[in-house]
């Protein structure tokens, strides 16, 4: 059995521990971070190749399934692990020199967060999902207040909200375990669909609670309004990495409810609720984008829209819907991360004014940055020819086939239009209406690295566009894996009593 | 015992939620703490309400005489995590001590 699947979780943990031990030694910390990023990318790429033919199920401690703790990777998990490796690697480039100097243990916290994110994508059972959620949350609490003298109010709201969410998660896990007698994700979903009458109520209550928690993490209305204000107080490079946090929520929803959304199982009603909440949150997110006062707020509001789009597609139910949601998630993470990095670049160029949407002081670095911004605007709005268009068409395609197709398509297009107006207006204020001045980035502000990282992230989206054909085919298979129940093998009594062989 | 246990868990949850919904930080911290306890009790109950049965025993013994060990392991993890999170929240609330008046978040955060 290959142990590769554990590495995306173990590597960042080790790197984080080394970074804590290194403490204030900046040079060595950078090397370790760089090495961890590269290794993370390599491991993620290898994992992607390994799951190409069939999913991997890895039993910790070699206990037979489903008694032991399982790590599970199918194409969806592997793609998301690669996505997180890429986003983390690119977004740490500008953070290494800048944010790391503004407080202690910044780089270590980033690695711990990455461990939590990857762990969530690979966890095969509910409780490990909970533990990995907590790992990424505790790092995010610390990263959010990083660089602030006093914790901003939004950070406290975020912490309290997520702690409450964790409590609900625990209660949901307990209910599901009490009803089904298992914690293994695949086993849980299979059993929840077919519960005996006396435990059905408990099981479904647990499933609904878990859906609520995942909706909170993926910032779905009415639980999503924390996101724009929270991301607006985070350092923009941190916000770029926080992009992955909402995806963890989306992934959990896909994993747990994906197989049942188009069936007549009682769990399918979760999908209907998700669809309604997602449609509402797409519209409200777009309106918030119009009202935002800084580039980070704008990006945060657009995240609401993009997560909602992915979940609307998912809630249509079925394998194609899951594939569309996955592709849109890949695209939107890269797009939003590059927008946050542009915000970081603008903030560093303008000093005190930060990334507020005002005409003065002008952004002193024209040309490249302006082009990049409007490229990203096209990407985020889903206009052709970039990957946003391909992703959105995929989502519209599955939505059009649902009973309320016309309304949902209308909602999605309206939200896209509003989002486009908001991005163009912001770009207008920042770049076009301000007086032209010097056209070079001031040295030493870190703006060049940040701009470079934003361009790199944008370049990756372009790659996603160029190779959209093969990637779509690959993602379609991923959709059939996550969108249908996993084939399960029940365990015989003899196997159960057998001693585990290490 | 089931009745007393569930009433107690419900009462703690209700108290936690009530405190959580109050505006000030001290009560919110207390509320989160109470909710955590309630969740832990709830997990314990998910394994069945059994008294005087050990969770760990020999393979040869009748499983019907054992208590489910899994919720006990879960609750141990949950307690540790909950404790750490509560400590963080208290530290955060203390650091935020003298911020702007309640309900008036300052729009200019010294970010980026």
Show me where the domains of chain B are located. 2-51+66-94
Intra-chain end-to-end CA distance of chain B, in Å: 55
Name the residue among B74, B81, B96 with its Cβ closest to that of A134: B81
Contact A154 B105 (CB under 8 A): yes
CA B57 to chain centre: 29
User: How confident is residue B108, by pLDDT bands cut at 50, 70 and 90?
Assistant: very low
Residues 6+ apart with CB under 8 A from A254: A76, A314, A322, A325, A326, A482
Residue A492, domain member (yes or no):
no
CATH number of B2-51+66-94: 1.10.287
User: How confident is residue A84, by pLDDT bands cut at 50, 70 and 90?
Assistant: very high
Residue A496, domain member (yes or no):
no
Judged by a CB distance cut-off of 8 A, whether residue A63 touches chain B is no
Residue A18's pLDDT is 92
Judged by a CB distance cut-off of 8 A, whether residue B62 touches chain A is no
DSSP letter assigned to residue A328: H
Residue B8's pLDDT is 94
Contact A354 B111 (CB under 8 A): yes
> Angle CA(A358)–CA(A364)–CA(A367) in degrees, nearest 5?
105
Nearest to A429 by CA among A292, A336, A283, A332: A292
Q: In angstroms, what CA-CA distances link A253 with A158, A259, A394, A404, A485?
A: 21, 10, 19, 22, 14
Nearest CA in chain B to A180: B46
Question: What are the tens digits of pLDDT across the range A118-142?
Answer: 999 999 889 899 999 999 999 999 8
Number of neighbouring beta carbons within 10 Å of residue A23: 12
Residue A41's pLDDT is 93
Judged by a CB distance cut-off of 8 A, whether residue B91 touches chain A is no
d(CA A45, CA A374): 31
Inter-residue contact A460 to A36 (CB < 8 Å): no
Name the residue among A138, A229, A234 with its Cβ closest to that of B84: A138
Number of neighbouring beta carbons within 10 Å of residue A331: 29
d(CA A491, CA A484): 21
Judged by a CB distance cut-off of 8 A, whether residue B77 touches chain A is yes
Chain A environment of B89 (Cβ under 8 Å): 159-160, 163
- Span A330-359, mean pLDDT? 83
- Span A480-488, mean pLDDT? 78
Determine the length of chain B: 112
Residue B100's pLDDT is 46
Residue A145's pLDDT is 87
Question: What are the tens digits of pLDDT across the range A435-458?
Answer: 665 555 555 567 788 888 888 889
- Nearest CA-CA distance, residue A176 and chain B, Å: 9
Name the residue among A160, A175, A348 with its Cβ closest to that of B46: A175
How many inter-chain contacts (A to B, CB under 8 Å) are there?
A: 115
Residue A71, domain member (yes or no):
yes
Residue A459, domain member (yes or no):
yes
pLDDT at B105 over 60: no
User: How confident is residue B46, by pLDDT bands cut at 50, 70 and 90?
Assistant: confident
Question: What are the tens digits of pLDDT across the range A188-237?
Answer: 888 887 788 888 888 889 999 999 999 998 888 778 888 888 888 888 77
Judged by a CB distance cut-off of 8 A, whether residue B61 touches chain A is no
Contact B96 A183 (CB under 8 A): no
Question: What is the domain range of residue A301?
Answer: 4-486
pLDDT at A499 over 60: no
pLDDT at A502 over 50: no
Asked whether this complex has an ipTM greater than 0.95, the answer is no
d(CA A321, CA A341): 30
Nearest to A80 by CA among A124, A138, A122: A122
User: How confident is residue A364, by pLDDT bands cut at 50, 70 and 90?
Assistant: low
Residue A237, domain member (yes or no):
yes
d(CA A252, CA A488): 19
Chain A environment of B93 (Cβ under 8 Å): 156
Question: What are the tens digits of pLDDT across the range A27-66?
Answer: 888 888 899 999 999 999 999 998 888 888 888 877 777 7
- Nearest CA-CA distance, residue A178 and chain B, Å: 5
The domain total for chain A is 1
Question: What are the tens digits of pLDDT across the range A380-408?
Answer: 888 888 888 888 888 888 888 888 888 88
Chain B environment of A159 (Cβ under 8 Å): 88-89, 92
Contact B112 A355 (CB under 8 A): yes
Question: What are the tens digits of pLDDT across the range A158-201?
Answer: 999 999 999 999 999 999 998 888 888 888 888 887 788 888 88
Chain A environment of B74 (Cβ under 8 Å): 127, 173-174, 177
Name the residue among B20, B92, B100 with its Cβ closest to that of A159: B92
Contact A164 B20 (CB under 8 A): yes
Inter-residue contact A256 to A311 (CB < 8 Å): no
């Amino acid at each position: 059995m290959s142990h590769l699947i554990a590495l995306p979780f173990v590597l960042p943990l080790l790197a984080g521990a080394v970074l804590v031990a290194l403490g204030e030694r900046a040079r060595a910390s950078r090397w370790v971070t760089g090495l961890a990023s590269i290794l993370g990318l390599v491991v993620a790429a290898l994992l992607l190749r390994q799951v190409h033919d069939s999913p991997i199920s890895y039993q910790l401690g070699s206990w037979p399934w489903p008694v032991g703790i399982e790590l599970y990777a199918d194409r969806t998990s592997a793609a998301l692990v690669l996505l997180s490796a890429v986003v983390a690697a690119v977004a740490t480039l500008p953070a290494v020199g800048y944010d790391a100097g503004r407080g202690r243990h910044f780089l270590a916290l980033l690695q711990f967060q990455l461990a939590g994110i990857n762990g969530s994508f690979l966890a095969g059972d509910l409780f490990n999902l909970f533990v990995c959620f907590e790992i990424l949350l505790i790092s995010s609490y610390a990263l959010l207040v990083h660089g602030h003298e006093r914790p901003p109010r939004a950070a406290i709201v975020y912490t309290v909200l997520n702690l409450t969410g964790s409590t609900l998660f625990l209660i949901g896990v307990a209910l599901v375990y009490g009803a089904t007698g298992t914690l293994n994700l695949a086993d849980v979903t299979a059993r929840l669909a077919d519960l005996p009458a006396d435990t059905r109520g408990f099981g479904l209550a647990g499933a609904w609670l878990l859906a609520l928690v995942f909706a909170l993490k993926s910032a779905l209305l009415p639980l999503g309004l924390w996101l724009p204000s929270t991301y607006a107080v985070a350092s923009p490079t941190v916000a770029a990495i926080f992009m992955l946090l909402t995806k963890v929520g989306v992934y959990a929803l896909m994993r747990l409810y994906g197989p049942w959304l188009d069936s007549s199982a009682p769990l399918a009603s979760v999908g209907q609720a998700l669809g309604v909440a997602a449609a509402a949150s797409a519209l409200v997110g777009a309106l918030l984008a119009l009202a935002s006062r800084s580039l980070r707020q704008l990006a945060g509001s657009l995240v609401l829209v993009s997560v909602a789009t992915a979940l609307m597609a998912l809630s249509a139910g079925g394998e194609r819907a899951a594939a569309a949601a996955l592709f849109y998630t890949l695209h939107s993470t890269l797009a939003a991360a590059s927008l946050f990095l542009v915000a970081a670049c603008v903030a560093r160029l303008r000093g005190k004014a930060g990334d507020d949407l005002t005409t003065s002081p002008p952004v002193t670095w024209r040309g490249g940055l302006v082009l990049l911004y409007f490229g990203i605007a096209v990407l985020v709005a889903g206009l052709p020819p970039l990957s946003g268009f391909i992703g959105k068409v995929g989502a519209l395609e599955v939505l059009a086939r649902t009973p309320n197709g016309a309304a949902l398509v209308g909602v999605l297009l309206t939200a896209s239009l509003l989002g486009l107006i908001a991005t163009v207006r912001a770009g207008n204020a920042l770049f076009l209406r301000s007086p032209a001045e010097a056209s070079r980035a001031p040295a030493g502000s870190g703006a060049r690295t940040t701009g470079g990282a934003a361009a790199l992230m944008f370049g990756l989206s372009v790659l996603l566009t160029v190779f959209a054909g093969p990637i779509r085919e690959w993602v379609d298979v991923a959709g059939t894996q996550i969108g249908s129940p996993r084939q399960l093998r029940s365990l015989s009594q003899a196997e159960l009593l057998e001693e585990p062989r290490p | 015992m089931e009745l007393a246990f569930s009433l107690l868990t419900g009462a703690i949850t209700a108290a936690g939620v009530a405190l959580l919904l109050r505006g000030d930080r001290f009560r919110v911290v207390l509320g989160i703490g109470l909710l955590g306890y309630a969740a832990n009790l709830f997990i314990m109950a998910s394994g069945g309400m059994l008294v005087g049965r050990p969770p760990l025993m020999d393979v040869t013994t009748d499983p019907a005489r054992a208590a489910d060990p899994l919720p006990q392991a879960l609750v141990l993890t949950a307690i540790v995590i909950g404790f750490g999170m509560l400590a963080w929240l208290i530290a955060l609330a203390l650091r935020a001590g003298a911020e702007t008046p309640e309900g008036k978040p300052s729009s200019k955060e010294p970010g980026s």
